[in-house]
Amino acid sequence: MDIYLSSPSEKALDLVQERCPEMKIDLLLTSARMPSDIDAYMERHKNILRKKALDSGAFSDNNSNLNISTRNLFHRHINHAKVHKCDFDIVFNFDIDFTPDGFYTNQAYLHEMENYGVHPVPVIHNMKSHEIDTFIHEGYDYVAIGKQQNKTKPEVLFPAVFKSVTPGKAGGMKGNEPLKAV
């Protein structure tokens, strides 16, 4: 399992680099709040970064005032994914609808990103629906489990994870759930 550190400050990464230079971390950056000079940020910390993921910023869009429209954030995400495609190992879908019935909205954004030449990891928000089956059937190698109610309860999480982790496939979890709950 990979655990990504989400949007750390440069000061935090400087401290990791200073105190534990041999440590390798997995980094998640969000299109909603990218460092002002992403190239310098990546170069400065390249010795401690193992894997890098680009998140859409949908959580920030839903939970704070970004002063940007949802559609503009979507295009910002596509732009970051295309311009910095060599910097990121994983790009997550623009999963703006966190409701249990948001699958088709999020899937439409997924396919639109693909039409722009970006190949994101789908993010599901309802483990009890057809979402995982759909993405497995469509041939995606990764599926991320996004924000949803009760996702850390074993009786909800385990069936979804076991279904998604088949030979040649991988699953992942994103969000702000405490690790001990998993």
Domain boundaries, the chain: 4-181
- How many angstroms separate the CA atoms of 6 and 154, rounded? 24
Give the pLDDT score at 167: 46
SS3 171: strand
Q: What is the mean pLDDT of residues 155-182?
A: 49
pLDDT for 171 beyond 90: no
Give the pLDDT score at 176: 45
State pTM to two decimals.
0.81
Class of domain 4-181: alpha beta
pLDDT for 157 beyond 70: no
